[in-house]
Amino acid sequence: MEIQPINCAIELRDFIPLDGSPLKAVIFDLDGTLIDTMPAFADIATDVITRYTTIPAEIARASYLNTSGLPFRSQVELIVPGSGDLDVMSTEYEQRKLMIPGKIEMSDDTVFTLSNLRRHGLGTAISSNNQQANVSKFSEAAPVSFDVALGYRFGFGKGQEHIAQVCRHYNCGPRSLLYVGDSLNDAILARNCGVPFVALTRTFTEARFRTLDDRIPCISELSHLLNLLQINHINV
Phi, psi (5° rounding) for residue 73?
A: -60, -40
On whether the pTM is more than 0.85, the answer is no
Read off the pLDDT of each residue in 156-173 and give the average, rounded to a whole number: 95
- % of the chain surpassing 90 pLDDT: 58
Q: For residue range 31-58, what is the model confidence (pLDDT) as tens digits? A: 889 998 888 889 999 999 999 999 999 9
First-residue to last-residue Cα distance in the chain: 42
Q: Is 201 helix (H, G, I), strand (E, B) or coil?
A: coil
| pLDDT given for residue 155 in this prediction | 84
> Mean per-residue pLDDT for 55-82?
90
Do residues 71 and 157 make contact, with C-beta atoms less than 8 angstroms apart? Answer: yes
Using CA atoms, how far apart are residues 201 and 96, in angstroms rounded to an integer? 26
Integer Cα distance of 36 and 105 in angstroms: 8
| Band of pLDDT at residue 102, cut at 50, 70 and 90 | low
20 or 156, which is more confident: 156
The more confidently predicted of residues 14 and 214 is: 214
Beta bridge partners of 199: 181, 218
Span 90-96, average pLDDT: 90
Between residues 133 and 21, the one the model is more confident about: 133
Q: pLDDT-based confidence at 21, cuts 50/70/90?
A: low
The proportion of the chain whose per-residue pLDDT surpasses 70, expressed as a percent, equals 88
Average pLDDT in the 81-106 region? 83
Q: How far apart are CA 125 and CA 177, in angstroms?
A: 10
The pLDDT, as a whole number, for residue 6 is: 41
Query: 13 pLDDT exceeds 50?
Result: no
Question: 72 or 15: which carries more pLDDT confidence?
Answer: 72
Q: Regarding predicted confidence, which is higher, 46 or 6?
A: 46
**Spatial contact of 68 and 75, defined as CB atoms under 8 Å apart:** yes
CB-based burial, 57-70: b 16+ in 10 Å, e otherwise? eeebbebbbbbbbb
